[in-house]
Structure 1
Amino acid sequence: MSITIRAIEEKDNLPLAELIRKVFREFKIDKPGTVYTDPTTNDLFHLFLTPGSVYLVAVEKGEIIGGCGVFPTDGLPEGCAELVKFYLSAETRGRGIGLQLLERNMELARELGYKQLYLESFPELAKAVSMYNKAGFKPLPHAIGNSGHFACNIWMLKDLTEEVSAETTVGE
């Protein structure tokens, strides 16, 4: 099965918003203070025109099956960006596509000059959190930055200057 990973296009707005909200309903985290109710979810293309940001989508058979981005969230320390809006369709998970998206986004974050990558998540997304741990993200005791997603209760940070990649740690 051929998967294409490419930059977001304006035509991706609606399918991406639908995918993200479907994942939130699936895990029963469709509540205020999350991406579910964030108005920017409906127009990710224009959001990711922001300097210092990037968003990639995974496409299979012409259909968007996932996406992930890097964004210079307000209030983050200098040299730090946020890994954002990282979602995969249910039937896509477990095939290594999430890891490909994560690694490509970490590479792009480094190319954009970031030294750290921050993320926010939920315990309900345990498989994703496990992947973040294996990729070298470390838990934080509280949120940093001003994402506006006050319902999230897992916060993690990755030092992008480390040489260890997710690929080398996944099998451990």
Structure 2
Amino acid sequence: MAHRIRKITPEDNPTVAHFIRSVFDEMGIAKVGTAYEDVTLDRMFETYQAANTTYFVVEEEGELIGGAGIAPLSGAEAHVCELQKMYFSPKARGRGIGSEMITYCMDFAREAGYTLAYLETMPYMHAAKKLYAKTGFTPINGPMGDTGHYSCNVWMTKAL
């Protein structure tokens, strides 16, 4: 099936919030201290309109099946961005869409002037960690910035 990656629109907000929360439910991810609690989850379009910030969605046959964003890492130097809220529905997984999405995000990050990308994930998110490593992210020993996601205890960076 053909898919396309595009920037989020205001009409995408309810669907994006729903599929992100459904991934948390499906995988039994902690809801406290994670993106699940972020007040921005229901206003993703508005949240990602700031300078040097974007959120991409993957659409297939009129259905949103994933998304990921880039934003400045809160509490960090201006050259550091964060890969944020990268989640995919089961039908998007294992098809190379995640790698494609990371490429879109890292290209945007470079164009925005970032030189380092940071992300946080969970230790049991094995497929995600494998994808991040495959796309050039390496583990670091502790968190950077101030994301508020204290339940995420795997931290990775990638030089841009």
Percentage of matched positions with identical amino acids: 42
The answer for the alignment partner of 1:143 in structure 2 is: 143
Q: Which amino acid in structure 2 is aligned with residue 66 of structure 1?
A: G
Structure 1 runs not aligned, ≥5 long: 161-172
> Could you say which residue in structure 2 is the equivalent of 1:89?
89
RMSD over equivalenced CA pairs, Å: 0.9
| Residue matched to 2:31 | 31
- Describe the superposition over 1:37-96 as per-residue Cα deviations: whole angstroms up to 9, x where unpaired: 111111110100111101100000111000011011221223110000000001210011
Maintained 8 Å contact 2:73/2:118: no
Contact preservation (8 Å) 1:35, 1:149:
yes
Asked if 1:44 corresponds to 2:47, the answer is no
Superposed CA deviations along residues 94-134 of structure 1, whole A, max 9, x for unmatched, are 01111110111011100101101000000221101111111
Q: Give the structure 2 partner of residue 10 of structure 1.
A: 10
Tell me, which stretches of 5 or more residues in structure 2 are unaligned? none
Amino acid at match of 2:47: L
Counterpart residue identity of residue 153, structure 1: N
Asked if the contact 1:27–1:124 (Cα under 8 Å) also holds between the matched residues in 2, the reply is: no
SS at match of 2:120: strand
Q: How does 1:108-147 map to 2 (within 5 A)?
A: 108-147=108-147
Q: What does residue 159 of structure 2 align with? A: 159
Distance 2:27 2:76 in 1: 28
Deviation at 1:30, TM superposition (A): 3.6
Does the 8 Å contact 2:66/2:88 carry over to 1?
A: yes
Give the TM-score, by structure 1 length: 0.90
- Does the CA-based 8 Å contact 2:30-2:151 persist in structure 1? no
Structure 2 residue matching 1:58: 3-state secondary structure: strand
- Partner residue of 1:105? 105
How many Å separate the matches in 2 of 1:30 and 1:89? 18
**Equivalent residue for 1:68?**
68
